Amino acid sequence: MMDTLHDKVVLLTGGGGGIGRAIAETLARQKMKIILLGGKSREKLAETAGIAGQYAPVEIIPGDLTDPEFMRCAVEKAAGIFGGTDILINNAGVAQSTRFEDVSAEEFDRIMNINFRVPFFLTRQVLPHLKRSGHATIINIASVVSHAGYPLQSVYTASKHALLGFTKSIAREYWQENIRVHAICPGGVYTDMVKISRPDLSPQGMIQPQEIAQIVLFFLQNRGNAVIDEILVHRVNKEPFTV
């Protein structure tokens, strides 16, 4: 039996476009309340809020999640907007296309901070609120490179391996407290980032953001006793994909 999601409160990072925007719209159609957390472009968040807000309440809290004080204050503000937090979706991330020997310390820190450190500590900040929910779920959007390694993506790959390992650990640590933790590992999603960085690629045979959003919805509607800590999503063309 599918769980009803009406009025559940979702905290979503990376909501300015691509997968995040598709998730926001899909969950809003289920009458879930959405908070778009973080992101420096208020305009992009507002665009997503305008789309998803046709179906359910959507609020935005723009800012830099790599700033610990902003993260702490934003989580508390988010919990107060709709009276709690039921679901955390760590979707924000940055890609890489740099030869290993050319990776600077600054690039290393930026990618590791956004792709792994932010989800790690954001989850810790949100956890007390999730413990008060009867539908507590954490979903981390990882990548096919959580399992594989492609050229020019050394730091990106390391960050996504770390995110997947973190997911697997806490999925088992908090299962008995009725908190479900999942990772989705997609390969080759046709987002705006890909359109800009790889204009040579065609959407044919690539995963669409809406497909990832439907997997998120499946997780939220089906909270059984099984611990499904990850789903690996291949595109039709399984040739190595780099950005």
Q: Catalytic residues, which ones?
A: 156
- Do 231 and 185 contact (CB within 8 A), yes or no? yes
The dihedral over CA atoms of 22, 62, 92, 189, expressed in degrees to the nearest 10, equals 30
Q: Cα–Cα distance between 112 and 160 in angstroms, integer?
A: 9
C-alpha triplet 80, 20, 225: angle, nearest 5°: 75
Q: Cα–Cα distance between 199 and 48 in angstroms, integer?
A: 23
Half-sphere exposure of 210 (CA within 13 A, CB side): 4
Which structure tokens are listed for 63? 């800012």
Q: What phi and psi, each to the nearest 5 degrees, are found at residue 79?
A: -65, -30
